[in-house]
């Protein structure tokens, strides 16, 4: 089921102040931790930020992982992406659904499933019993559970969700949202540390927009940070969270200029990382260049050459939300701090072979200097 249409601009505006509130708490927590210029694993730091944002917007809960890295939401978030030992073998088998089905393998263990199922049920029961509205993701799912909804962009009726589907969508939103957004921000900060001129250009844009809006970050202010959006897109291009996408053919398809027919029901793997690093679409692909996403340059490329959030009926349900979260987080960080490489910064990056999301093997250490 495609839920991306539920993330309309209007609904994003409702959630925006909540994300800004979490970013301000993020700033306070980071400020308390910094002593002069310190080396930090920004990977873990950003994962805690996105955990708190999604916990608040998806479940209406104060996760507080910025203060306590061992909070339950952060703990289960780590477990979801734990690829050590038996989990690595399970994940490989899960790539072949028929075999996984024969072996009755579950993607995640009972402890993870029970935690999220319990949280979703408790949240829904509490809100419905007390008639609570928060204008967040859970409200959208409750609406789809109780009523037929309308895709506000395409005017198409959306089917009701069962409780099981609500839980699944909330879990996907949490698991996919916090890891993909945090790694996108992490790689952006890494490249900006390597390219201080770009970092300064972006900081100037952020400060200019803040000044225009009297020091407040509003939804309208964020939309004016054009270079910030280019930096995020180029980070997602060079470091796509999902290096490949799995899709199922919905009908027979004859590959042009060949005799090959991909039959309906066939699983197809799409190499997103390779497409993003194909010099035919992105000249000098290893160079970090936000100008690749100037409107006129982007428009000239085939739309399927940028697949960081996937596309089609199964594209990322939190596409708009993930982008908004990354922009708010980076705007707050770059306004208040300068990021520099240190002796512990991985140059070049050695990628983990175990995690399902593209990620450095030993964390991402950068020097953070308060401005």
Mean pLDDT of the chain: 82
Domains of the chain, each with CATH number or no CATH: 4-370 (1.10.630.10)
Residue 90 banded pLDDT, cuts 50, 70, 90 = very low
Give the range among 27-31, 40-44, 116-120, 309-313 with minimum mean pLDDT: 309-313
Is 231 a residue whose pLDDT tops 60? yes
Q: What predicted TM-score, i.e. pTM, was given to this entire model? A: 0.85
Mean pLDDT of 83-103: 49
pLDDT at 280: 96
Alpha helices in the chain (DSSP H): 9-33, 42-59, 72-80, 86-94, 97-102, 110-130, 137-146, 163-194, 196-212, 219-223, 226-238, 272-276, 295-300, 319-336
The sign of the CA dihedral 268, 273, 279, 280 is positive
Which CA distances in Å does 140 have to 4, 133, 183?
A: 11, 10, 26
- Dig out the tokens for 358 from the structure: 């593209």
Mean pLDDT of 215-228: 95
State the pairing for strand pair 156-158/245-248.
unpaired
pLDDT at 315: 54
Which CA distances in Å does 153 have to 8, 225, 255, 325, 357?
A: 8, 24, 31, 22, 30
Would you say 368 and 34 are in contact if contact means Cβ atoms under 8 Å apart? yes
Dist CA 2 CA 312 (whole Å):
9
Locus of tokens 């006129």: 296
Cis peptide before 348 (omega within 30 of 0): yes
Helix (H) or strand (E) holding 339: strand 337-340
**Count of other CB atoms within 10 angstroms of residue 47:** 24
The sign of the CA dihedral 157, 162, 164, 166 is positive
Dist CA 9 CA 25 (whole Å):
25
Would you say 166 and 141 are in contact if contact means Cβ atoms under 8 Å apart? yes
Q: Is 316 annotated as a binding residue?
A: yes
Tell me which of 221 and 32 has the higher pLDDT: 221
Max mean pLDDT range (44-58, 266-280, 312-326): 266-280
Residue 104 banded pLDDT, cuts 50, 70, 90 = very low
């Amino acid at each position: 089921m495609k839920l991306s249409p539920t993330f309309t601009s209007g609904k994003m505006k409702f959630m925006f102040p909540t994300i800004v509130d979490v970013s301000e708490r993020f700033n306070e927590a980071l400020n308390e931790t910094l002593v002069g210029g310190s080396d930090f694993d920004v990977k873990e730091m950003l994962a805690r930020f996105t955990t708190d944002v999604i916990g608040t917007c998806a479940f209406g809960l104060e996760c507080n992982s910025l203060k306590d890295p061992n909070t339950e939401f952060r703990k289960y978030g780590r477990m979801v992406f734990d690829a050590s030992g038996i989990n690595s073998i399970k994940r490989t088998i899960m790539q072949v659904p028929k075999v996984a089905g024969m072996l009755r393998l579950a993607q995640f263990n009972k402890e993870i499933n029970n935690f999220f199922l319990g949280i979703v049920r408790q949240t829904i029961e509490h809100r419905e019993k007390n008639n609570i509205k928060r204008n967040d993701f859970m409200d959208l799912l409750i609406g789809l559970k109780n009523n037929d909804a309308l895709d506000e962009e395409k005017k198409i009726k959306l089917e009701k969700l069962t409780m099981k589907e609500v839980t699944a969508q909330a879990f996907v939103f949490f698991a996919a949202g916090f890891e993909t957004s945090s790694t996108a921000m992490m790689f952006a900060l890494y490249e900006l540390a390597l390219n201080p001129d770009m970092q300064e250009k972006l900081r100037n844009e952020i400060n200019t927009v803040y000044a225009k809006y009297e020091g407040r970050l509003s939804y309208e202010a964020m939309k004016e940070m054009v270079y910030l959006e280019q930096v995020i897109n180029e980070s997602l291009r060079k470091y796509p969270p999902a290096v490949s996408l799995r899709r199922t053919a919905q009908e027979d398809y004859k590959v042009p200029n060949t005799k090959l027919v991909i039959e309906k029901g066939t699983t197809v793997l799409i190499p997103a990382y390779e497409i993003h690093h194909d010099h035919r679409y992105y000249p000098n692909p290893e160079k970090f260049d936000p100008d690749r996403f100037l409107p006129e340059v982007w428009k000239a490329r085939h739309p399927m050459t940028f697949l960081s959030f996937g596309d089609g009926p199964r594209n990322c349900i939190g596409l708009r939300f993930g982008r908004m979260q990354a922009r708010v987080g980076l705007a707050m960080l770059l306004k208040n701090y300068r990021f520099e490489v240190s002796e512990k910064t991985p140059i070049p990056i050695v990628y983990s072979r175990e995690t399902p999301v593209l990620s450095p093997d030993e964390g991402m250490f950068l020097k953070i200097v308060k401005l």
